[in-house]
Structure 1
Amino acid sequence: MSTDSHSNAVDHRAICAFLYREARYLDDREWEPWLALYAPDAEYWMPAWDDDDQLTDDPHSQISLIYYPNRNGLEDRVFRIKTERSSASMPEPRTNHMITNVEVLAEQADTVEVRYNFHTLSHRYKQTDHFFGTVFLTLRKAADSFLIARKKIVLKNDYIRQVIDVYHI
């Protein structure tokens, strides 16, 4: 159902504000508020590109750059970052997330399907890296906001020289 076709459509500005808030939490390393944006059953997936420039389509049987079947995986990742048990995150990079082309693809009674582009700058060891791509997001409507029910990240520049992590996207 198109959001232009009825008056009860979700507010595009509210979706953008939610996405910007998630990006700010990542940039500011506000891990607990960031995790609170995710539903307990939220799937977080960054598929890999295969040899034929096609995305893998099954995180259970094919390679993924990142895959967490629920928020527990994200919580574990944050725990390792916060307790300095992640050599890939030490020192933590300085990041700047930019979000563009936010588009509502579909809306149901309790969910909204969203697509947007991202560009993240990450500065570490006196060098700046770029990460960019497209995110497909399922937002679950909550009382006065949303919860992320599913996040699929299509990283367009997957030939990178370091470990990719949740704060890069």
Structure 2
Amino acid sequence: MHPTHTAIAAATVSRAEVEDFLFHEARLLDEWKLREWEALFAADGVYHVPTTGAPEAASPATTLFYVADDRLRITQRVTRLLKKGAHAEYPRSKTRHMITNVRIESREGDELVVQSSFFVHRSRDGSSQSYVGHYRHRLVVEDGRFMIREKRCTLDTDSLRPLGRISIVL
């Protein structure tokens, strides 16, 4: 997508363009291109994974989250995951991020709020886990391309116990 005016682009962007961006993000994660994934975030971008059972409008300022990363912590997470010393992910998991039911929920100024469903399959050391839930992306258009202002991953499970910890990027 190469729009020239941010406000016009956010107002006219299509669901197909948003889907292409989300599919691109998923591919970067599956190929462990985490630096490229990190570069998709705006300067004020955040990555959130609320605990199971947390209210939809919960904030990491007042509620426990599994992941509550601001831009600096996203960079630190990527750095840790790419090190051979990252025992939780060395050898790296094989993942497949599948995204469906993409809907543009709202458009306001230069920002889009996008909802989608996800299924992330993870395989490592002879075991597999499946993470199911929904994403809420707040996307902005900067310099003619989408940037993530917020990625919120809400799991559709009662607990993490059967899945173990979240050491991959959902």
TM-score if structure 2 supplies the norm length? 0.86
Q: Is the 2:52–2:154 contact (alpha carbons within 8 Å) kept by the matching residues of 1?
A: no
Distance of 2:137 and 2:91 partners within structure 1: 29
RMSD across aligned positions (CA): 1.7
2:34 corresponds in structure 1 to 31
Q: Tell me the amino acid that sits aligned with residue 131 of structure 1.
A: Y
DSSP-derived class of the 1:58 partner: coil
Pairing of 1:12-23 with structure 2 (within 5 A):
12-23=15-26
Task: Return the offset for 1:104.
Answer: 0.3
Partner of 1:162 in structure 2? Answer: 164
Question: Does the CA-based 8 Å contact 2:51-2:65 persist in structure 1?
Answer: yes
- Bigger Cα displacement from structure 2, 156-165 vs 28-37: 156-165
Aligned length: 158
The residue aligned with 1:49 is 52
Counterpart-to-counterpart distance in 1, 2:63 and 2:149: 22
Give the letter aligned to residue 42 of structure 2. Answer: A
| Runs of 5+ unmatched residues, structure 1 | 1-7
What per-residue deviation string (whole Å, max 9, x for no partner) do you get for residues 133-153 of structure 1?
011110011232210001111
Using the alignment, how far apart are the partners of 1:55 and 1:43 within structure 2? 16
Deviation string, structure 1 residues 48-93 (Cα, Å, up to 9, x no partner): 134xx7458131232111111x211111011111112322212210
Cross-structure match for 1:3: none
Q: Comparing both chains, which one has the higher relative contact order based on Cα–Cα distances under 8 Å and sequence gaps of 6 or more?
A: 2
Q: Could you list the runs of 5+ residues in structure 2 that have no partner in the other structure?
A: 1-10
Cα distance in 2 for residues equivalent to 1:122 and 1:101: 21
State which drifts further: 130-139 or 56-65.
56-65
1:40 has 2:43 as partner:
yes
Q: TM-score, normalised by structure 1?
A: 0.86
Per-residue deviation, 1:99: 0.2
The answer as to whether partners of 2:137 and 2:152 remain within 8 angstroms in 1 is: yes
CA distance in 2, matches of 1:14, 1:55: 26
Matched residues in 2 for 1:95 and 1:117: separation?
16
